[in-house]
Amino acid sequence: MELFPSQAEEIRDMSEARLNYYLFLSGFSTKSQVTELSGRGVGLDIVRHNIEAIKGTIGLSSVPDAGTEFSLSLPLSLATIDGFFVLSAGEKFLIPANFVREVITVKKDEVMDILNRRGFVFRNLVVPLHPLSTILGKGDDDPFDREKLRVVVVEVDGEAAGIIVDAIVQYTTLIHKPVPANLGGLRVLQGIVFDENFDIITILFVPELVNRFKRIRNIDTMRRYSASRRENKRILVVDDSQTTRDIERSILELEDYRVETAVDGIDALERLREQRYHLVVTDIAMPRMDGLTFIENMRKLDGYDRTPVIVLTSEADEGRRKAFTEAGASAFLLKSGFERENLVERVKALIG
């Protein structure tokens, strides 16, 4: 499995528990050569995918020269689900109990700054804190201003995270229903249940929720809760380099655009199905799906046949540009001459 610079940097910063779960990534293999039986990096990936498909979890712990232990947690019934009803931004959700380590209250003075995030100490571990309302894009107040935070501590892939909610209503066991067909593309939803009032309540898929939290910096959270909050135009930045994504995101957010990111074309297509964007900025060379293929597929999605697309390129090849233009690219920017003013100017010319 070839690692990109952003991935290598991420791995260096991982805890040992988190690093163990790299074994479950698609394409990861300890073999240097591919044979008919091994080296393809699909074994543990398939195991994890199938276990999560039935709403279970798989854990891994390893001690050098001693051995490795896999632990499986599977629901007793696929028809029922245990979890916590929580409130966030005026809405009710169910967080499955198999991901929950503890439900606690965190005082304001226990919250600390951790690089570009907020966190607190939980059982001798520093755990990041994330408001659920950030993902929902709702709520007018900054939850970190509260004297007490209601927190659901979850664990995914050996890594703990604290989800801030407005209230924790109750623990319950209910009949689990699949996500309706029209919501099947929303990966953050695991299914639905009916509460005591027969209202439809969505079940949150915690692994996807935590992945989205990781992509949101603390500064983003503060901006989303600013007093002058308004529905600014949304931009999707697509690039496999974390450094490039962060630079472009910072530049555009300073101009009051609402910016989200994707690591490649496949990731970007999933986001386009979940959220409406007014403009897309994309790289050319990316893993899994490159920029040209991404634009061609993007134009097939409902509502994205005319959405402006800016392509960042490292070459001025006119033949290459023609292929992108025919696919639906609106403008080009050379990486070698990339400057803040160039990007902002081009974006404003396309969407204002």
Alpha helices in 121-160 (DSSP H): 132-136
Given a contact cutoff of 8 angstroms between Cβ atoms, the answer to whether 80 and 174 are in contact is yes
- SS3 of residue 198 by DSSP: coil
Q: Which among 49, 13, 52 is positioned nearest to 206, based on CA atoms?
A: 52
Given a contact cutoff of 8 angstroms between Cβ atoms, the answer to whether 201 and 93 are in contact is yes
Model confidence pLDDT, tens digit, residues 229-265: 445 789 999 988 877 787 788 778 777 788 889 988 8
- pTM over 0.85? The answer is no
What residue has token string 């279970």? 56
CATH of domain 80-214: 2.40.50.180
> In sequence order, what are the residues at sequence separation of 6 or more whose Cβ sits closer than 8 angstroms to the Cβ of residue 197?
none
CATH architecture of the domain covering 230-351: 3-Layer(aba) Sandwich (3.40)
Model confidence pLDDT, tens digit, residues 1-40: 444 444 555 555 556 666 776 677 766 676 666 666 665 5
Q: Which among 267, 275, 313, 317 is positioned nearest to 294, based on CA atoms?
A: 267
Domain residue ranges of the chain, discontinuous segments joined by +: 5-73, 80-214, 230-351
Given a contact cutoff of 8 angstroms between Cβ atoms, the answer to whether 18 and 157 are in contact is yes
Given a contact cutoff of 8 angstroms between Cβ atoms, the answer to whether 299 and 327 are in contact is yes
